Amino acid sequence: MQISTRSHDYLVDTPLELRSDLQCLNTVFTDPNIVKVSLSIRSSQTKTLSKYKTGPLQGFT
């Protein structure tokens, strides 16, 4: 996962065993005032988002 701010870029490794450590990002991902951009969402990711009824509140793909 790549996350960028106005001043920094971050690459985050997201293996399943680290999933609980990524909970701190929920605040950012669910904030409707922060624009999210996703690139190249594959059908498996789309199915996962649908299965868990989750996803970004707004953004661009």
Q: Please determine, for residue 3, whether its predicted confidence score (pLDDT) is greater than 80.
A: yes
- 60: which residues sit within 8 A by CB, 6+ positions away? 35, 36, 37, 38
- 7 pLDDT tier (thresholds 50, 70, 90): very high
pTM exceeds cut of 0.75: no
Q: What is the model's pLDDT at position 34?
A: 84
Nearest to 54 by CA among 15, 21, 14, 36: 36
> Which tens digit of pLDDT belongs to each residue from 8-53?
998 877 777 777 787 888 888 888 888 877 766 665 566 666 666 6
Q: Please determine, for residue 5, whether its predicted confidence score (pLDDT) is greater than 80.
A: yes
- C-alpha distances (whole Å) from 17 to each of 2, 5, 13, 21, 59 are 18, 26, 11, 9, 27
Query: Are residues 36 and 29 in contact, defined by beta-carbon separation less than 8 angstroms?
Result: yes
